[in-house]
A and B are shown apart, each in its own frame.
Chain A
Amino acid sequence: MKLGLLNRLKPIIWRENKISLWTPIGILNHLISPLFYVLFFAIAFASNIKIIEYQGHTFNYVEFFVPGLIAMQVFSLFGFTFSWVRIDFATNLISVISTSPVGMDAYIIGKYLAMLSVTIVKTAILLLTGFLLTGKMLNMNPLSLGIFFITLILGSLFWTNIGLICGIKVKREDVRDIIYSIVLLPITFLSSVYYDLTTAPLWIRIIGNINPLTYITDLLRATYLDIPIRDYTFLILLITIGAISLIATINALWKVSIK
């Protein structure tokens, strides 16, 4: 009598696509904004920093920056999920879903899948634009390709979880605004998105190395630029924080859905 997970996921994914992709704001946010990032940031930076030395190799700055932009798109899932989940709670959609045969497990999995599909679409746009600007293509070596996609999946899972937890816990608008202003910019700038972290001052390196955005950026960059991954610690750390965030999300949702 219990509905299969696939059938329960259908309405959730339908809605996620409806609100996150197939609306003017969704199209602007997900399909057009990555282009803006490449055209405005990457080209503007590249006009000042023509080439960059990274792990003993020399790269065109746009080439260097494209994986960083992909990592930033993965990171943007945090803010995106945070906002939507807050809306879902505020509009009681959670109780509507909780009392339907679909259930909250499908809601969470549906969110992951929708966010992952958003990431894949954005990544494809960034890779294509990067290719048109620099001629650089994604390394098709199976190991590199595997690590590239595992990083995308784990990164999406992690930042979606953090967005889910914040969306569940944070009820006040002002607290949300503080989180946005205190967290978003420092996480972006204290990571390896824009520069090679190994050349930064010690204190920035220390913070940067505990910043999950650095793990995602470095793994994507290594596979994209076809350079050896220095060590797999970042991948192990990403798996670990992905798992911890998943447990924390289930725990947070359990507490609010059934009392």
Chain B
Amino acid sequence: MTSVAIESINLTKKYGEFTALDNINLSINKGEIFGILGPNGAGKSTFINIISTLLSPTSGEVYIYGYNVKREKQYIRKIIALVPQDLAVDFLLTVEDNLYFYGSLHGVPRRELKKRIEQVSKEFGLESKIRDAVLTLSGGQCRRLMLARVFLAKKELLILDEPTLGVDVEGKQYIWKSLKSLVKFSNNEITVLVATNDMKEAEELCDRIAFIKEGHIIALDTPHLLKAIVGSTAIKVTIDNSTLSNNWYRHIPEAKDISLEGDAITFFIEKTDESLLKALNYIKDYTLIKQISIREPSLEDVFLRFITN
């Protein structure tokens, strides 16, 4: 039995002349929470749609739990559960009916279904809304319902496209915790593929992350190692900006990804006292330092570095 959940080999998707995905080679392991990050139009949703059998690749091969995405769609559909980017709930039915319908679509036995509906509605805070029409729910509650449905279906591969869009902070934390524990206790049987623009979500949730830009994977690693690429420490120095005339700040020794915003210079530096001192002494020679703040780099820094460069 293979330990690979998703394998894409030279995957390319074209819409006419436009190439949405260009030779994507990727392997996602079973039991992994894998994130895809990228700006709008980078190819995230195209990738998600191919994995969820809604789109066919133009060329290349994709295997989901060993099944070929072009030829074995019917088998793949038995092991996947999709949360699309847009709200996809049945507004004509109640919360309970939505859960029942989704469970039936995915072949959950009737007797088991009742028990699972009770369980997931409690887990996702929908218990008091169970008999309400979905039309009366807020956007965040609809998102919870969409996630509750995939939990109820208990599939091997959960495909989540912007799963917490519009969910409040508390709700997001809860969803992330639930997803992590679902994967943890599945004994590597459940894999999660998440496409998101929420850096915090990617950082909190994902074991590994791929950055996609213009249809290419430009970086792929664990959040920790991706952050290490940027540099160990982010330094923000507030200065007297009247002294910036000859762009001296661009040449701060040992600093990477230097940027200027108003009177604040931000750069990344290896975590050694010596490097930091060297940089600060250099700045001090040109201007007056008003304030210094030091923080660990975030995924947002990684994103900006890869996407803007």
Contact = CB atoms under 8 A, between A and B. Distances in A.
Interface in B33-75: 52-56, 74-75
Nearest to B72: A1
A3 interface: yes
Bin chain B's interface residue count: 20 to 34
A231 B128 CA distance: 62
A92 B83 CA distance: 10
A87 B93 CA distance: 12
Contact of B91 (A87, A96, A259): A87
A49 interface: no
Interface stretch (A27-35, A97-105, A138-146, A167-175): A97-105
B101 to A, nearest CB: 5
Contact of B101 (A2, A14, A103): A14
Interface residues of A, number: 27
B105 A97 contact: yes
A7 B80 CA distance: 18
A19 to B, nearest CB: 5
A99 B77 CA distance: 5
Interface in A196-251: none
B112 to A, nearest CB: 15
Contacts of B53: 98-99
Q: Classify the secondary structure of A's interface with B.
A: helix
A15 interface: yes
Interface in A100-134: 100-103
Given A7-B107, A96-B102, A101-B78, A258 B56 contact: yes
B54 A101 contact: no
Contacts of A93: 88, 90
A258 B88 CA distance: 18
A13 B84 CA distance: 24
A101 B55 contact: no
B91 A99 contact: no
A98 B53 CA distance: 8
B56, B87, B104, B106: residue with the most chain A Cβ atoms closer than 10 Å: B104
B82 interface: yes
A50 interface: no
A10, A14, A92: residue with the most chain B Cβ atoms closer than 10 Å: A92
B89 A91 contact: yes
Nearest to A258: B56
B77 A100 contact: yes
B92 interface: yes
A76 B151 CA distance: 39
Given A15-B93, A99-B52, A92 B107 contact: no
Interface of B: 52-56, 74-75, 77-78, 80-82, 84, 86-93, 97, 100-102, 104-107
11 contacts: A1-B78, A11-B105, A19-B90, A91-B87, A91-B89, A95-B82, A96-B105, A99-B80, A100-B105, A100-B106, A103-B74
